[in-house]
Amino acid sequence: MKARAISGGERRSGLGSRLREIYLSGAMVWAGALFLLALFALDVGLELQIKRAHDPLGGRFFPVLISSVLAIAVGILLLTPLLRALVSSDHSVNGEIRRSDEARSEAPVAPLERPDIRVGGMMLVSIAYVALLGLVGFLPATILAMFASLYILGRRGWIALTATSVLVSLAIYTTFTYALLVHLP
Amino acid sequence: MDVTIAERLMEGLAAGLQPDAVLFVALGLLIGIFVGALPGIGPTVGMALLLPVTIRMTPENAVFLLASVNMGAAYGNSIPAILVGVPGSPSALLTAYEGRFFRERGEAGRALLIVLLASVTANFFGVIMFIAFAIPVAEIAVRLLFPEVFAVMVFGIVAATGLISRSPLKGFIAIMLGLLLALPGQDAITGQLRYTFGQGHLETGLETIPVVVGLLAFREVFIGAEKGVAAEWTSRVVLKARYWLSAADWKDIAVPIVSGTLVGFTIGVVPGAGGAVGAFLAYQVLKMIRPRRGDFGKGSAGGLATIDAAGNADSAGELIPTLALGIPGSSSMVVLMAALAAQGLFPGPYLLQSSPGLLYAVFGAMLVGVVLLAVLGYLLIRPSVYIGSLSPQTTMAATMILVVTGAYALRWSLFDVWVAVIAGIVGYLMRRFDYPVAPAALAFILGPMLETNLRRGLIMTGGWTEFLSRPITATLLILAALTFVLGILMNRRAARLSTGPQEAAI
B419 close to B444: Cβ distance less than 8 angstroms: no
Q: How confident is the model at residue A141 (pLDDT cuts 50, 70, 90)?
A: very high
The percentage of residues in chain B with a pLDDT greater than 70, rounded to a whole number, is 88
Residue B168 in this model has a pLDDT that exceeds 90: no
Whole-number Cα distances in Å, B73 to B32, B96, B496, B503? 4, 15, 34, 20
Quick check: B228 contacting A, CB < 8 Å?
yes
Contacts of B401 in chain A (CB under 8 A): 142, 145-146, 168-169, 172
pLDDT recorded at residue B230: 53
More reliable by pLDDT, B77 or B429: B429
Quick check: B14 contacting A, CB < 8 Å?
no
CB spacing of A66 vs B176 below 8 angstroms: yes
**Residues A67-92: what's their mean pLDDT?**
83
Chains A, B: CB pairs < 8 Å:
171
pLDDT digits (tens, 9 = 90+) for B225-237: 888 765 444 455 5
B213 close to B220: Cβ distance less than 8 angstroms: no
B276 close to B88: Cβ distance less than 8 angstroms: no
Residue type, A39: L
Contacts of B433 in chain A (CB under 8 A): 26-27, 30-31
Q: Is B326 helix (H, G, I), strand (E, B) or coil?
A: coil
CB spacing of B454 vs A176 below 8 angstroms: no
Rounded to a whole number of angstroms, the distance from the CA of A119 to the nearest CA of chain B is 5
Q: What pTM was estimated for this model as a whole? A: 0.79
pLDDT recorded at residue B418: 94
**Which of A111-125, B199-213, B415-429 is modeled with the greatest confidence?**
B415-429
Quick check: B484 contacting A, CB < 8 Å?
no
pLDDT recorded at residue B437: 87
**Which of B117-131, B295-309, B381-395 is modeled with the greatest confidence?**
B117-131
Rounded to a whole number of angstroms, the distance from the CA of B317 to the nearest CA of chain A is 32
CB spacing of B397 vs A146 below 8 angstroms: yes
Whole-number Cα distances in Å, A42 to A38, A62, A63, B351? 6, 10, 7, 33
What's the Rg (C-alpha) of chain B?
Answer: 22
Contacts of B402 in chain A (CB under 8 A): 172
Residue A7 in this model has a pLDDT that exceeds 80: no
Q: Rounded CA gap, B339 and B322, in Å?
A: 12
pLDDT recorded at residue B406: 85
Residue B368 in this model has a pLDDT that exceeds 90: yes
Residue B407 in this model has a pLDDT that exceeds 80: yes
pLDDT recorded at residue B290: 78
Q: Rounded CA gap, B336 and B314, in Å?
A: 15
Residue in chain A closest to B450 (alpha carbons) equals A62
pLDDT recorded at residue A110: 74
Of A44, A121, A182, the CB nearest to B412: A182
B64 close to B20: Cβ distance less than 8 angstroms: no
DSSP state of A5: P
Quick check: A32 contacting B, CB < 8 Å?
no
Rounded to a whole number of angstroms, the distance from the CA of A125 to the nearest CA of chain B is 10
CB spacing of A126 vs B228 below 8 angstroms: no
Arithmetic mean of pLDDT over chain B: 83
The B residues from 50 to 89 touching A (CB cutoff 8 Å) are 53, 56
Q: Rounded CA gap, A13 and B227, in Å?
A: 36
Backbone angles phi, psi at B194, to 5 degrees: -150, 150
**Which of A8-22, A134-148, B66-80, B281-295 is modeled with the greatest confidence?**
A134-148
Q: Rounded CA gap, A33 and A99, in Å?
A: 25
Q: Is A8 helix (H, G, I), strand (E, B) or coil?
A: helix
**Residues A2-27: what's their mean pLDDT?**
69
Q: How many residues does chain B have?
A: 506
Test mutation, A23, A25, A30, A34, chain B, max B CBs within 10 A:
A34
**Residues B28-46: what's their mean pLDDT?**
81
* Cβ neighbours of residue B199 closer than 8 Å, sequence gap 6 or more: none
Of B183, B193, B178, the C-alpha closest to A41 is B183
B282 - beta bridge partners?
none
Contacts of A177 in chain B (CB under 8 A): none
What are the helix and strand counts (H, E) for chain A? 7, 0
Quick check: B504 contacting A, CB < 8 Å?
no
pLDDT recorded at residue B375: 93
> How many whole angstroms from its chain centre is CA B82?
22
Quick check: B390 contacting A, CB < 8 Å?
no
DSSP B428-488: HHHHHTT--HHHHHHHHHHHHHHHHHHHHHHHHHSSHHHHHTSHHHHHHHHHHHHHHHHHH
pLDDT digits (tens, 9 = 90+) for B285-297: 888 887 777 677 7
Q: How confident is the model at residue B100 (pLDDT cuts 50, 70, 90)?
A: confident
Of B176, B401, B425, the CB nearest to A142: B401
More reliable by pLDDT, A99 or B300: B300
pLDDT digits (tens, 9 = 90+) for B44-78: 888 888 888 888 888 889 989 999 998 998 888 88
pLDDT recorded at residue B3: 56
Residue A165 in this model has a pLDDT that exceeds 90: yes
DSSP B337-377: HHHHHHTT--SSTTHHHH-TTHHHHHHHHHHHHHHHHHHHH
Quick check: A55 contacting B, CB < 8 Å?
yes
Quick check: A88 contacting B, CB < 8 Å?
no
pLDDT recorded at residue B242: 57
* Cβ neighbours of residue A49 closer than 8 Å, sequence gap 6 or more: none
pLDDT digits (tens, 9 = 90+) for A31-65: 999 999 999 999 999 988 766 657 777 888 899 99
pLDDT recorded at residue B90: 66
pLDDT digits (tens, 9 = 90+) for B251-285: 888 999 999 999 888 888 876 556 667 788 888 88
Q: Rounded CA gap, A11 and A13, in Å?
A: 5
